Structure 1
Amino acid sequence: MLQSYLKIALRTLWKHRTHTLINVVGLAVASAACLLLFLTASFHLSFDRFHTKAGRIFQPYFLATDRDGSEKQNGSMPHPLLPALKAEFPEVEGVTRIRWSSGGVRYGDKTFSKMVRSCDPDFLTMFTFPMVKGEAKTALNDLGNVVISQNMAKDVFGKEDPMGKTLLLNQSGSWKNFVVTGILSDFPDNSTEQYDAFIRTENAAEYQTYKADWSHSDSGMYIMLAQSADRQAFEKKLEAFMQKYMGPSMKERQTNGYAKNSRGQQISLLLEPLTDVHFNTDLGGGGQGISKTYVYALLLIGLFILAIACINFINLTIAQSVTRSREVGVRKSLGAGQGQLMGQVWGETGLLCLVSLVLGLVLAYGLMPEFNKLLRTHLSLASFLTPTALLAIGGGLLVVTLVVGGYPSWVVARFNAVEVLKGKLQLNRPGLLRNALIVTQFTIACLLTACTLVMVQQLGYLHKKPLGLNQDQVISIPIGSDLDSQTALRQLRNQLAGKPGVVSVSGTGVNIGNGLDGNNSRYMYGFMYNKRELLCDWLRVDFDYLKTMQIKLLAGRDFNPAFSTDSSMAVLVSQRFAKQMGDANPIGKFIQPDSAKGKFQVVGVVADFNLYSLHRKAEPLVLHLDKNMALGYLLVRVAPQNLTEAMETVKAAWKTIAPKQEFNGSFVSENTERWYRKEQRLSTIFTTAAGIAILLSCMGLFAVALISIEQRTKEIGVRKVLGASVGSLVALLSKDFLRLVGVAIVLATPLAWWAMRNWLGDFAYKISMPWWVFALTGGLAVVIAFVTIAFQSVRAALMNPVKSLRSE
């Protein structure tokens, strides 16, 4: 019996091989796309879930309003918060501060650049980063201890046993000895916290200054609650805690007219679950923050593509059902039951789905390397073999087989054997289901196309919008942790002095854009000035910064080596900061961001410029030359005539200064483009998905139109005999399908508008929603649909009516 079913299935599929090919190709492409997107979304959704205590670990953050009343989250915590939480709340089982430290590591005569993090001892017991050697409870008991990763142990020590060995770590410009007391397993790819080594928080140079200062925040933090503790109840307790320790600051904010936050407080201390940290772009997600909307968009796109392929399958199977009516009639007359007939059609469906899945898996594996580059994921063969992936693949095959085979098999099995064998089986006009399915797939195709066009417009706008500085022809060079930044800047100036094509040289503490070193940093200050709370980015620069970046000076003067105090107490402020101050003329005024730093005098006002991406508005800025803060990057403006030669000149000069250090210089214009890599990747995905959706929709429409026209051959012949023109026949055969496409356009337009309005909401600077995008999408859909069915329509209209009516 089974062998007979298989022979019939293969014979039927071969007989209708064009439609079979359309179904197999469509499902294979859809399966590959869906699988890759599913695995990527699954990777992001799995972040930090490998920690056995993940459900009890939280990242605290402050929630407050700024002067315009908008709420902001701040994950930077003051140092005294840790001991206060431990002392006042018995339900706090663990708490750790965590921050980046210097990355310079030296062993023997070798120097390495590594991710050195500072934390507290609880970190090793809170998080599930297994200890390969050493004890998690005691490994960081001493300030001179360091715990390193397996990868760092291999790089630094080779085959030596690192335990008990002494390393030199660069701490704020000075090298200190640390003893290796533990080796951690390497962090997995889906970990927010990444590291090469951990040392104690107290090793930070400024720790002693700020360890009791509630107004100074510079560390991230994690809290682990007891199993019996409730997050909401604990957050409620934190309200009284905040009043106790930060009451004066909150009262001062209220006096100065700051609005309360959504919880009715000036400042709230709240908890973000560890499993959500990766998706909180405001708190940063360890430098990898990504919106959940982005992840869900990947899932939806995959499901959309799969849905279109399934719709094609259903429509083609139903349309073909009439050609199988005599087979069904004969088999019913010979005693075949309805269940057997349904099983036959369902078996054919399952066979096609299985073949499509196998081809889809092969296609997905072949595309995986390029897909990883595009989305910066880490998919591998092992990703396909995880229990979750295997369950999804098996479940997906079962669901698709049931969905695409269920209704068509039911339709075929309900044919009346007597009517079929008498040749009286009449075709009804296309039903609601077929029309709904065609509308659905073209709605998806139009939705993806419109979203793609809006994304392309926004990305073009971001690249063209002025930042308030000139990013072109500027080379940014990471200094690294092995060099003294001021010495490196002086030497580079000397090396490039008089070189043709070099315009100016300067330095900065914060890179503009994402450089090749992959590091991001930000230093902010909040302080009071004339009873006004000021918040600003505190930017370390050097002489000629304005000249190098071509930033406009609006009032006062630039930094000048002729003024000896400029290196210690002079600052330049941006327009927004000057407005925050509330003074008509801020030149000559003094600000004091920190009692330990003393006062700074405003000597100039510069035009606002975007130090960070256009996702956020240009924040108030203070530029200073404080030598106690190291520079992170050297900036070289070059002439535009020969950029390649200029880069080589700078590279040669750098090799003279740091012969053992890799040159990671890059143009700032390239760095700023990397700001929008996530949006660019999403746009590429939407573009690809829209192309696949349109292709699959057209394949399905072509096949359905072909079958529909074949079934109306005699009607076309009669109309031609009665004088119908070719144009009228083409219009007759096309109008029903084009009407469905029109309905799809009407449905897709508001959906695309709503989706893109929400997506654009992530940008402080954005385009107005372009109406022509939706008009263009609709026009393209109509043209593509008409071209798809026009060939068959014209061919049918030109057919000799004698052939079509010969059997009458």
Structure 2
Amino acid sequence: MLRNYLIITWRNLLKNKLFSAVNITGLAIGMAACLLILQYVSFELGYDSFHKQADHIYRIESEHFQEGIVTQKRGTGVIEIGDELKKTFPQVQEVVRVSTWTGVVTAPSTEGILTAYNEDQVLFVDASFLRTFSFPLVNGSPDVLDEPHAVIITQSAALKYFGKQDPIGREIIMENHNQGHKLSGIVRGICQDAPLQSHLQFNFLVSRNTPGQAGGPKTWDAFTYLLVSPGTNTQPLQDKLASFIKTHQDGGTSSINYFLQPLSAIHLYAGLAEDISRQGDSRIVWFLVCIAVLVLFIAYINYINLSTAKALERAKEVGIRKVMGSMRIHLMKQFFLESLLLNLLGLIFALTIVQFTLPWFKELVGIAIPFTLWQQYPFIPILLLFTFIGALLSGFYPALILSAYQPMQVLKGQLYKTGKGLRLRKVLVFFQFAASLVLTIGTFAVYRQVSYMHAKDLGMNIEQTLIVAAPQSRRDSPEEESKFLRKLANFQTQVRTYAGISSFTTSSTIPGKEVSWYNRIIRRPDAPDEEVVRYHTLAIGPEFIDQFGIKLIAGEKFSVNSVKSENSIIPIMINAAALAPLGFVTPAQAIGQNIYSRNGRGRTFKLEIIGVLQDFHNRSLKEKHEPMIFYSQDGSSIEYFAAKVNPENIKQTVQQLETTFKNTFPSSPFEYFFLDEFFNRQYQQDEQFEKVFSFFSSLAVLVACMGLFGLSLLTTRQRTKEIGVRKVLGASVYSILSLLTSDFIKLILLANVFAWPVAYWGISRWLENYAFRIEISAFLFILPTLLILVTALVTVSIQTMKAARANPAKALNYE
């Protein structure tokens, strides 16, 4: 019996090659799209899961309040509480502090040659780091981090700095003048490179037991991780955490709340200011999950719709089988087996598509994602279960409904007159195109938002701006500082003479980079610490404002003498966003007013506002304008050089700049990039999301149109005689075309009623991520709707036009 069922199934596939190809291909594309998205989602959700103790690791994070409103979430600030925390809470097995560091790392060679690079993946860690996290060593012991000056480097860093030489026992020097650091370490071990799915990315692990200038690592802001005992209920620990920290750490205030975040949630759900690495976006991940569900939903609706429509052509087959003695259960088994076989073919085809398209998909999402879903235990059983359910659903109508008809009714052709199944197909087409419309409208909205961010005026000009990392060699004496400043002045003088450079300036940070320098500002010198507000702070050269084209709206700009007045009042500028928080109504009201800065040691400095700048987008348009304070650059806090270059002969200009830089600062690495490219990297995640969304939405529309093509093919075949009669009676091609397409077009138009509100809700939620965003207008809905309508009309017309132009004699000759 089974062999007979398989033979019949195979003959039906061969008999209807076009229909079978459309049906299986549509299903396979939907399955493949779903699998690719699920692999990406699985990758994002699987961050840090490779750690053996991942389920028991938590990070202490904080929420900062002002007048009852959360103003910032941070992961740093908790420093010297490890020993006390372990004593007070026995369920805490390890406390790990991790401090990030940036600067110049130099590895002197045995021949006296210096290998130096600017590094931003240096972590100062406690000795418990490698006992808590699973980063395998290829040389050395985790215990070496107990030693002072001990450094563990990754395999890629070892190759970068030492080539094929053995790095163990070699010295490295870490310098950052602006932070007051000059530290030396000895390489004591080599570890594997951090996996892509690690939120802790590093090239160097340095023992926090490494003394150095500016208090050393023990006084730096640190991310604090806890390893708790298996089975620990962390809620009681979290309830007592805030009061414990405030008791044991100076500066704890009631305006800060502390909580524990699981290691597995850090990548997608932290949302911290100045996090330790690139953060993911949970909203994007779950939006992609919705896309995967919708694409698969559309594919299966397609499949079910085509299968039920096709089943009508086999009504006589069912009638004859029942006359010949077939039982209803036999017919149900036959239809279900056919459906299962088609689903399995679709699944095999889908897996083939995934394997061939995975390299391209990796480029699309910008991550080298391996296809590892099949290695996860639940995946294969769940995949087979879904295939079985899909086969069951798509075979349900022909198996249950057709097998219930009486043979005489079927053989007289009365089945077609009942119209049963037509209502089901209309409902399915309605939901199919409603889902397609939601995805298409969403795609258009994402495209508009990304285009808006690229096109919007930033309030400054970053085009043709070349950025060079400034030297960070530590200057330990006034003589060294004076020597450096002379070199700096000489360097700037030479650079300004180049024909390819029209202007040149310096700054402590650049647009597109998160400002890590904060000033603790108060309005009165005797104000209590509770009134201190942290303001983003930049030190800029006197040419900065004009070179970047930032508009001055009140007061005056910095000059070369704007460092400090005779009475020790420091001149500053602020941006418009800082006016209201400082209590000023208008820019003019702020000019000449004094505010005060209080450092961590309690010393207070008097500041005078000499100018107010128009707000500009120092960060992505996702971020609102933050209050900012500007100091005049005195040479001590230079992080970057910025040169406005002419577009002609850029290569020659860069070579000139590099030669002068190396001659002036021979021990510092020369590294450069263009500011517009650097700034636009902030939108890389949004651009990738746009590409992924657009591609899979297009696939959904393609699959829906394939289904529409299949339905139009079956409809015209079933109505061949009707079309012939109408043409004999004088019906025009246009009238027949309208007759065959009107039902489909009505369903698509009706789908708007459902799709538009759902799309509006989804777009509104997504745009909440952006401080500066597009307006949701009718244009966002009308254009995608017209696009879907035209696409569907063309798809249906391909087959219906052929039927409408056919010779009626061929349709009626069998009569």
Q: TM-score, normalised by structure 2?
A: 0.87
Question: Of 221, 226, 229, which residue of structure 1 is paired with 2:229?
Answer: 226
- Is 556-565 or 265-274 further displaced after alignment? 556-565
Residues 1:280 and 2:274 aligned together? no
| Distance in 2 (alpha carbons) for counterparts of 1:600 and 1:83 | 39
- Is 396-405 or 611-620 further displaced after alignment? 396-405
> CA, structure 1 residues 186+451, in 2 after alignment: closer, same or farther (shift >3 Å)?
same
> CA, structure 1 residues 73+646, in 2 after alignment: closer, same or farther (shift >3 Å)?
same
1:95-115 per-residue CA deviation (whole Å, 9 max, x = no partner) reads: 222222235140413525352
Q: CA deviation at 1:394?
A: 4.4
Secondary structure at 1:507 match in 2: strand
Note if contact 2:520-2:599 (Cα within 8 Å) is conserved in structure 1: no
Residues 1:683 and 2:690 aligned together? yes
> CA, structure 1 residues 480+14, in 2 after alignment: closer, same or farther (shift >3 Å)?
farther
Q: CA deviation at 1:769?
A: 0.8
| Distance in 2 (alpha carbons) for counterparts of 1:681 and 1:431 | 41
Residues 1:475 and 2:466 aligned together? yes
Match of 1:267 in 2: 256
Q: TM-score, normalised by structure 1?
A: 0.88
Secondary structure at 2:774 match in 1: coil
Question: Of 609, 617, 628, which residue of structure 2 is paired with 1:621?
Answer: 628
Q: CA deviation at 1:410?
A: 3.5
Note if contact 1:311-1:441 (Cα within 8 Å) is conserved in structure 2: yes
| Distance in 2 (alpha carbons) for counterparts of 1:160 and 1:210 | 29
1:738-794 per-residue CA deviation (whole Å, 9 max, x = no partner) reads: 221122111110111001101100111112211221122223333332332234444
| Distance in 1 (alpha carbons) for counterparts of 2:250 and 2:622 | 33
Match of 2:368 in 1: 378
Map of 1:124-273 to 2, 5 A cutoff? 124-136=130-142, 138-158=143-163, 160-170=165-175, 172=177, 176-201=183-208, 203=210, 208=215, 218-227=221-230, 229-241=232-244, 244=247, 250=253, 266-273=255-262
| Distance in 1 (alpha carbons) for counterparts of 2:781 and 2:191 | 54
Secondary structure at 1:139 match in 2: helix
| Distance in 1 (alpha carbons) for counterparts of 2:604 and 2:97 | 27
| Distance in 2 (alpha carbons) for counterparts of 1:33 and 1:481 | 49
Question: Of 734, 740, 747, which residue of structure 2 is paired with 1:733?
Answer: 740
> CA, structure 1 residues 776+176, in 2 after alignment: closer, same or farther (shift >3 Å)?
closer
Residues 1:431 and 2:397 aligned together? no
Q: CA deviation at 1:188?
A: 1.2
> CA, structure 1 residues 132+407, in 2 after alignment: closer, same or farther (shift >3 Å)?
farther
| Distance in 2 (alpha carbons) for counterparts of 1:281 and 1:756 | 23
Match of 2:478 in 1: none
> CA, structure 1 residues 502+291, in 2 after alignment: closer, same or farther (shift >3 Å)?
same
1:344-368 per-residue CA deviation (whole Å, 9 max, x = no partner) reads: 3333333333333333333323322
- 2:756 alignment partner AA: T
Map of 1:243-642 to 2, 5 A cutoff? 244=247, 250=253, 266-280=255-269, 282-283=271-272, 286-380=276-370, 387=377, 390=380, 393-421=383-411, 423-429=413-419, 430-479=421-470, 490=489, 492-513=491-512, 522-530=516-524, 531=527, 532-563=531-562, 565=564, 569-582=570-583, 584-587=589-592, 589-596=594-601, 599=605, 601-602=607-608, 603-625=610-632, 630-639=637-646
Note if contact 2:167-2:187 (Cα within 8 Å) is conserved in structure 1: yes
Q: CA deviation at 1:726?
A: 4.5
Match of 1:15 in 2: 15
Q: CA deviation at 1:86?
A: 4.2
Residues 1:123 and 2:123 aligned together? no
Identical residues among aligned pairs (%): 28
Q: CA deviation at 1:731?
A: 3.0
- 1:91 alignment partner AA: Q
Secondary structure at 1:773 match in 2: helix
Note if contact 2:661-2:670 (Cα within 8 Å) is conserved in structure 1: no
- Is 477-486 or 776-785 further displaced after alignment? 477-486
Q: CA deviation at 1:496?
A: 2.2
Match of 2:95 in 1: 95
Match of 2:33 in 1: 33
Secondary structure at 2:622 match in 1: coil
Match of 1:259 in 2: none
| Distance in 2 (alpha carbons) for counterparts of 1:733 and 1:381 | 44
| Distance in 2 (alpha carbons) for counterparts of 1:365 and 1:619 | 46
1:216-260 per-residue CA deviation (whole Å, 9 max, x = no partner) reads: x8332222333354322222212433553579764xxxxxxxxxx
Unaligned stretches of 5+ in structure 1? 251-264, 515-519
| Distance in 2 (alpha carbons) for counterparts of 1:663 and 1:393 | 53
> CA, structure 1 residues 95+182, in 2 after alignment: closer, same or farther (shift >3 Å)?
same
| Distance in 1 (alpha carbons) for counterparts of 2:84 and 2:458 | 43
Secondary structure at 1:579 match in 2: coil
Match of 2:649 in 1: 645
Unaligned stretches of 5+ in structure 2? 476-483
> CA, structure 1 residues 475+396, in 2 after alignment: closer, same or farther (shift >3 Å)?
farther
- 1:238 alignment partner AA: L
Q: CA deviation at 1:395?
A: 4.7
Secondary structure at 1:612 match in 2: coil
Note if contact 1:540-1:629 (Cα within 8 Å) is conserved in structure 2: no
Match of 1:693 in 2: 700
Q: CA deviation at 1:200?
A: 2.8
Residues 1:747 and 2:744 aligned together? no
1:708-760 per-residue CA deviation (whole Å, 9 max, x = no partner) reads: 23222333444455565544443333222222112211111011100110110
1:132-164 per-residue CA deviation (whole Å, 9 max, x = no partner) reads: 34333x321122111222333344445555444
| Distance in 1 (alpha carbons) for counterparts of 2:612 and 2:257 | 34
| Distance in 2 (alpha carbons) for counterparts of 1:124 and 1:41 | 28
Q: CA deviation at 1:44?
A: 0.4
- 1:504 alignment partner AA: S
Match of 1:43 in 2: 43
> CA, structure 1 residues 794+168, in 2 after alignment: closer, same or farther (shift >3 Å)?
closer
> CA, structure 1 residues 719+753, in 2 after alignment: closer, same or farther (shift >3 Å)?
same
